[in-house]
Amino acid sequence: MAAERETHRGRHWYLWALCILFLLFCLSLGDTALRERPALASDAPEAGESAEDANEPSRPDHSHPAFAERVEERKRMVTRQIEWRQVRDPNVLKAMRIVPRHALMRPGDQRYAYLDRPWSIGEGQTISQPYIVAFMTEALKLDPNSRVLEIGTGSGYQAAVCGEIAREVYSIEIVESLARSAAKKLKKLGYGNVFVKAGDGYYGWPEKAPFDAIIGTAAAVRIPPALIRQLKTGGRMILPVENESGFQYLILLTKDERGKLHKKNVMPVRFVPMTGDVRKPEK
């Protein structure tokens, strides 16, 4: 009987040991998967995970060496290209002096970063002219509590400028390679309050709506209805719209307390076209 009890006890500990080894194996697999998962967000939260899920959004971290590079060039850019054209919002001017535009461009093009012009970033897309970025940001009237939706991440430059002022920025890019590249750069630069995903901006980001401000960085043939729905009462939207003749205008929309839209043509512009379902015939 003693021998049988010893045998039973041995089997009991053997089964427990197998269970523990199996659990350790599962945990190691999960840890590997987390390390290898490609992220489309700029900080700890996954793409699509809001700052509410991660408690408080982190403010931009300016510890990356790029912020200390070419500072005088950015100051001259703001003085000569932006302030000279009557952009006055101090938060926008400060953001434009801070964001290292060169770090969001291709390495071979970085010497052109602070010229008064847009520049190719590949995939038929461009990084916008600094003045246009500043003008559109000022039109949104952002504050530290603003939640912003951007349609067309591109290089990530406009998202970074908004992220310097706003609480959270959610940015959608239809070209997946650009979405991944921008997310990687924004994360490296420390923009923990900017979240990027690949997708068609025509549908916005409904699970994160409503937004205080919406900005489009590609020319649409019409204003997507989903974006109007996702704009908060009292919110502001600015985006380029192309008319039937092919001319583009920046359109500023505001939604009043009754939900009524007020539209204003701001200035003629030239943006790359918005692609995706916006190009399909309207139902």
Burial of 33 (0-12, 13-18, 19+ CB in 10 A): exposed
Evaluated on CA atoms 58, 92, 74, 112, the torsion sign reads: positive
Element (H, E) at 231: strand 231-242
Supply 26's token pair. 């599962």
**Which has the closest alpha carbon to 204: 273, 260, 279, 149?**
149
Q: Catalytic: which of 42, 58, 128, 146? A: 128
Cβ atoms 153, 171 nearer than 8 A: yes
**Which has the closest alpha carbon to 114: 162, 153, 73, 163?**
73
Burial of 224 (0-12, 13-18, 19+ CB in 10 A): buried
Catalytic residue status for 128: yes
Burial of 183 (0-12, 13-18, 19+ CB in 10 A): buried
Distance of CA 89 to the CA centre of its chain: 21
**What radius of gyration, in Å, describes the C-alpha atoms of the chain?**
24
**Residues acting as catalytic residues:** 128
